[in-house]
Amino acid sequence: MQETYFPIITKENLKLPIYLHSIGKYFEETDIKRPNGFPAYQWIQCYQGEGLFVYDKEEYIIKEGQGIFIYPTTPHYYYATKKPWKTHWIAFDGYSIHSLLNIIGITKTDIYNILDPNILKNKIITCFQLSTSNNLYTSIETSAYLYQFFIDLVKNTKPIYNNSLYQHYSKLQPVIDYIDTYYSQPLSIDLLAKQINVTPQYLCILFQKIMQKRPFEYINEVRIKKSKELILNNYNYPITTISTKVGFESPSYFGSQFKKIEGITPGQFKQLYISS
């Protein structure tokens, strides 16, 4: 059954990093014309029929298993081309939305293939139930839930027409997997570049574009993460042993990197979590 919900946006909502603007499930779309766009970010997911979506002087057919992510104030219109055209949709805003979307690579209005439509459908339905529960913490709980929705959105969608970021990440994935597996062994840019048959220079470009950091910055972060696990699970290990086991050649370099990333020394980290 078609249902929509438009919560009252209070001053308290506006203080949240992300808040729900509106939401709809099992919704039969009609002709929509928005010359000035929509006031919030919106995700529209098609599960039946087809529609035509027009923006930036281009036309796109939206089919079952596809979705549209629309940025605020983007002029657009859409209508059904194969009725009934039914969707689940969710709209949201908040002061941290823009930076979060930039981090996960959703930087503009775009059309997506959905890898597992049921995951996102169930997320929208659960968010609908949560947002209409009408308890004291509904707004805060919904805000927290929306963060998880964004994670599932980026994991379960692939841009149809603007897929360069997705392609680059897919290209880099074997290197990420290799580092996560062999972090304790000597690693070089040449060795990592061979995992995907690119030049060392291009590998560095990929890391900067996708991870916003250099390869060895990522390697050191993985090694420090593993070192924390070793410290907590092996209290009697000296720091020098921990350093060697996670792939650092020098205990002093391990210590400097640990403090740079964590803000404290390995010894101070140990004292925080393990009583003597």
Q: Is the peptide bond before 266 cis (omega within 30 degrees of 0)?
A: no
For 47, left (φ over 0), alpha (ψ -120 to 50), or beta?
A: alpha
Fold exhibited by the domain 3-161: Jelly Rolls (2.60.120)
Q: Which of 82, 75, 56 is nearest to 66 (CA)?
A: 82
- Look at residue 160 in the predicted model and tell me its pLDDT: 85
pTM of the entire predicted model: 0.69
Kindly state the percentage of the chain with pLDDT values over 90. 80
Question: 50 with 8: CB under 8 angstroms?
Answer: no
Domain 218-273 has CATH 1.10.10.60: yes
Question: Taking 60 as the threshold, does the pLDDT of residue 276 lie above it?
Answer: no
Question: Taking 60 as the threshold, does the pLDDT of residue 165 lie above it?
Answer: no
Question: 152 with 120: CB under 8 angstroms?
Answer: yes
pLDDT averaged over every residue in the chain: 92
Kindly state the percentage of the chain with pLDDT values over 70. 96
d(CA 276, CA 270): 9
Q: Encoding tokens for residue 199?
A: 């030049």
- Look at residue 87 in the predicted model and tell me its pLDDT: 98
Task: Give the confidence band of 103 by pLDDT, cuts at 50, 70, 90.
Answer: confident
